[in-house]
């Protein structure tokens, strides 16, 4: 991949800091917690999955739908739906850049603006901007990385998945 | 499993989430010209073949108080990678565990894992306990905590 002209980066990586946002544990009912924790995989493939969930929860279909809508509006769930295995549909990679602190926001803004980017995080490390690029195929992904490199002026480390070692059953909460 | 043109339409229709209505699969089917039972059986096949890893409630753990998000990267000798990768992948606190390429000299780490918790101290304790349990003392690793989240959404395919 073409390496963009590198700007000199003379900066000290930021020290390990606590998260900027203080942890706020939301107040949830037992039913809401069960909805969040027990249905991260295995959503029923029946004509009425929410009614099936309601039965397991000793609740009603309307209540399950209402609570899922509420949890979505509050931002506690992103969706009720599928997680696709990486690369089964399209191609993706994890990429990282080392950006001087005073330019991080500008670089991050450009990376975020790319529709092919679905995750974009700061991490406390010399390599401080981490993002996931997803597109139709490998060539399209690498083209996006080259464009990001050229636009931002920093080398992009391309770290594609080689082998997965875990089974995704969701995220255990309140354990 | 080969995906048909119609499968791609189905993927596009469900990747942002199923509708929160009494008959979500029927509503998805109406958008793309499939019956309810066709949608259900096609999603089932995608699950069986592994294209869909899971179908369910996708939580946003950061919003639920799990604000300490650590990417733990390990430099595992090649001959031990499969064994240690599988062991790490089975740990309950690990939510992702992937082999990725080293990029020498600047990046010697070939195994990536993710640990989430409500505090950085708690996450570091879990990682230390895991290193002891699995006998990983002596393996070079780094913990990269997340800072600002600039973007987070499910992948979208055209």
Per-domain residue ranges for chain B?
5-48, 68-145
Chain A residues within an 8 Å CB radius of B105: none
CA B63 to chain centre: 17
The residue of chain B with its CA nearest to that of A52 is B22
Report CB contact under 8 Å: B151, A16.
no
pLDDT lower than 70: segments of chain A: 1-25, 174-175
Chain B residues within an 8 Å CB radius of A159: 100-101, 103, 107, 112
Beta bridge partners of B117: B68
The ipTM (two decimal places) reads 0.83
**Contact B2/A at CB under 8 A:** no
Q: How confident is the model at residue B154 (pLDDT cuts 50, 70, 90)?
A: low
Helices A61-73/A49-57 angle, 10° precision: 100
3-state helix, strand, coil in chain A (%, to 5): 35, 20, 45
- Residue A107 C-alpha, separation from nearest chain B C-alpha, in angstroms: 11
Question: In CATH, what is the architecture of B5-48?
Answer: Orthogonal Bundle (1.10)
Q: Which fold has domain B68-145?
A: Alpha-Beta Plaits (3.30.70)
Task: Name the nearest CA neighbour of A128 among A157, A148, A153.
Answer: A157
The residue of chain A with its CA nearest to that of B155 is A118
Query: What digits encode the pLDDT tens for the residues A134-145?
Result: 999 999 999 999
At residue A152's C-alpha, the angle toward residues A150 and A153, to 5°, is: 65
Task: Name the nearest CA neighbour of B74 among B28, B131, B148, B25.
Answer: B131
Domains B5-48 and B68-145 share a fold: no
- Residue A18 C-alpha, separation from nearest chain B C-alpha, in angstroms: 7
Provide the pLDDT for residue A168.
77
Please provide the average confidence, as pLDDT, over all residues in chain B.
Answer: 93
Upstream peptide bond of A24 is cis (omega within 30 degrees of 0): no
d(CA B69, CA A29): 25
Smallest Cβ–Cβ distance between B63 and the set A76, A132, A175 belongs to: A76
DSSP A126-148: SS-EEEEEEESSHHHHHHHHHHH
Domains in chain A with CATH codes: 30-73 (no CATH), 91-159 (3.30.70.3460)
Listed in sequence order, the DSSP H helices in chain B are 5-14, 24-32, 36-48, 81-89, 120-134
Provide the pLDDT for residue B61.
87
User: What's the whole-number mean pLDDT along residues B119-133?
Assistant: 95
**Contact B103/A at CB under 8 A:** yes
CA atoms within 13 A on the CB side of A97: 32
- Residue B116 C-alpha, separation from nearest chain A C-alpha, in angstroms: 9
Greater confidence, A88 or B67? B67
**Contact B86/A at CB under 8 A:** yes
> In chain B, what is the straight-line distance between the N-terminal and C-terminal CA atoms, in Å?
19
Report CB contact under 8 Å: B55, A77.
no
CA A167 to chain centre: 17
- Residue A93 C-alpha, separation from nearest chain B C-alpha, in angstroms: 10
How many C-beta atoms lie closer than 10 Å to residue B85's C-beta?
A: 23
């Amino acid at each position: 991949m073409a390496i963009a002209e590198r700007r000199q980066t003379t900066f000290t990586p930021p020290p390990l800091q606590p998260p900027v946002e203080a942890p706020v544990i939301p107040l949830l009912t037992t039913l809401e917690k069960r909805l969040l924790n027990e249905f991260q995989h295995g959503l029923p493939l029946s004509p009425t999955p929410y009614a099936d969930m309601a039965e397991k929860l000793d609740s009603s279909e309307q209540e399950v739908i209402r609570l899922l809508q509420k949890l979505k509006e509050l931002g506690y769930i992103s969706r009720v739906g599928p997680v696709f295995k990486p690369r089964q549909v399209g191609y993706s990679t994890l990429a990282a850049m080392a950006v001087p602190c005073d330019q991080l926001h500008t670089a991050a803004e450009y990376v975020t603006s790319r529709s092919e980017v679905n995750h974009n995080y700061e991490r406390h490390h010399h390599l401080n901007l981490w993002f996931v690029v997803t597109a139709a195929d490998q060539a399209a992904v690498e083209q996006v990385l080259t464009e990001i490199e050229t636009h931002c002026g920093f080398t992009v480390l391309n770290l594609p998945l080689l082998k997965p070692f875990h089974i995704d059953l969701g995220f255990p909460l309140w354990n | 499993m080969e995906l048909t043109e119609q499968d791609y339409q189905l993927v596009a229709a469900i990747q942002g989430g199923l509708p929160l209505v009494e008959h979500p699969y029927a509503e998805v089917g109406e958008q793309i010209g499939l019956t309810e039972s066709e949608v259900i059986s096609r999603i089932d096949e995608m699950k069986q073949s592994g294209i869909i890893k899971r179908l369910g409630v996708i939580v946003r753990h950061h919003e639920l108080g799990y604000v300490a998000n650590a990417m733990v990267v390990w430099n595992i000798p090649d001959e031990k990678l499969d064994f240690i990768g599988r062991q790490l992948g089975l740990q309950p606190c690990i939510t992702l565990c992937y082999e990725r390429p080293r990029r020498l000299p600047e990046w010697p780490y070939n195994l990536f894992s993710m640990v989430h918790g409500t505090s950085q101290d708690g996450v570091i304790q879990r990682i230390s306990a895991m290193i002891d349990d699995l006998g990983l003392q002596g393996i070079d690793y780094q913990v990269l905590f997340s800072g600002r989240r600039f973007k987070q959404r499910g992948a979208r395919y055209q």
